[in-house]
Amino acid sequence: MHITSISGSPSERSRSAWLTQLALTRLEGLTTQGNHIAVRELPAAALIAADAQDAAIAQAVQAVAEASLVIVGTPIYKAAYSGLLKLFLDLLPPEALRGKTVLPLATGGSAAHLLALDYALKPVLSALGARHVLDGVFATDAQLQRHESGRYVPDAELLVRLDRALEPVVPPAPRMHIAAQLNCRR
Ligand SMILES: Cc1cc2nc3c(=O)[nH]c(=O)nc-3n(C[C@H](O)[C@H](O)[C@H](O)COP(=O)(O)O)c2cc1C
């Protein structure tokens, strides 16, 4: 399976980017090819000018085109997805997500805006042609505690929801294995 993940946080130590990586870890056995797009690392001027000819932007857009599964991770900002993520999504061609499976992920300061995935992000994914959208996974900051190693540690309930969201693309056995591994690394 060719997987491309998109991280829409401007933060260097991003919880939502980490959640995106966690989902990728979960899919390790199934990945034949993977790309990760950290939008914060794309050229800012090209993003703001919507310059689809920029080489780095064109490469990122191509990575989305080649994927069969696209993971979209964002922090919740002002009750919606991040503006940084929108800058990148606006550069995708119409129907860019047609025929692909899409997993929406978000982190927020509290559960108050957990529906932002449904009322804000999913309509944009739909406008881009996505018709097979997996259950969105929202995590509060408290569900991703910072470990002294610098990593984030997911709580058990979050792992269960992530596993459930991925069920349509992942058989149960490896999922159990990875969850056990994560617990061991705490
Ligand atoms: C500018 C800004 C706006 C935010 N707005 C919200 C919000 O409306 N709702 C919410 O639950 N969290 C809000 N937060 C908290 C972040 O969503 C939360 O800390 C998230 O985990 C950050 O993800 P990141 O580490 O990937 O950037 C906001 C944070 C910032 C910096």
Report the CATH number at residue 124: 3.40.50.360
pLDDT at 179: 53
| Placement of tokens 């129907």 in the chain | 95
> Which atom belonging to ligand 1 lies closest to the Cα atom of 7?
26
Q: What is the pLDDT along the chain (186 residues), one digit of tens a residue?
A: 999 999 999 999 999 999 999 999 999 888 778 899 999 999 999 999 999 999 999 999 999 999 999 999 999 999 999 999 999 999 999 999 999 999 999 999 999 999 999 999 999 999 999 999 999 999 999 999 999 988 999 999 999 999 999 999 987 655 555 555 555 444
pLDDT at 186: 45
State the distance from the centre of ligand 1 to the C-alpha of 115, rounded, in angstroms. Answer: 14
Alpha-helical runs (H) found in the chain: 15-26, 44-48, 55-66, 83-89, 116, 122-127, 156-166, 172-185
Domain count, the chain: 1
User: Which of 77, 110, 140, 158 is the best mutation target for the ligand 1 pocket, counting ligand atoms within 8 Å of the beta carbon and taking the most?
Assistant: 77
Compute the Cα dihedral for 51, 56, 59, 63 and give only its sign: negative
Class of residue 119 by CB neighbours under 10 A (exposed 0-12, middle 13-18, buried 19+)? exposed
pLDDT at 31: 72
pLDDT at 156: 96
Q: Which domain holds residue 39?
A: 2-185
User: Which of 76, 113, 121, 145 is the best mutation target for the ligand 1 pocket, counting ligand atoms within 8 Å of the beta carbon and taking the most?
Assistant: 76
Say yes or no: CB of residue 78 within 6 Å of ligand 1.
Answer: yes
Say yes or no: CB of residue 40 within 6 Å of ligand 1.
Answer: no
Tokens at 65, concatenated: 């085109």
Which residue puts its alpha carbon closest to atom 4 of ligand 1? 77
Give, in order, the Cα–Cα distances in Å from 25 to each of 11, 41, 55, 73, 172.
21, 21, 28, 14, 14
Which residue puts its alpha carbon closest to atom 15 of ligand 1? 109
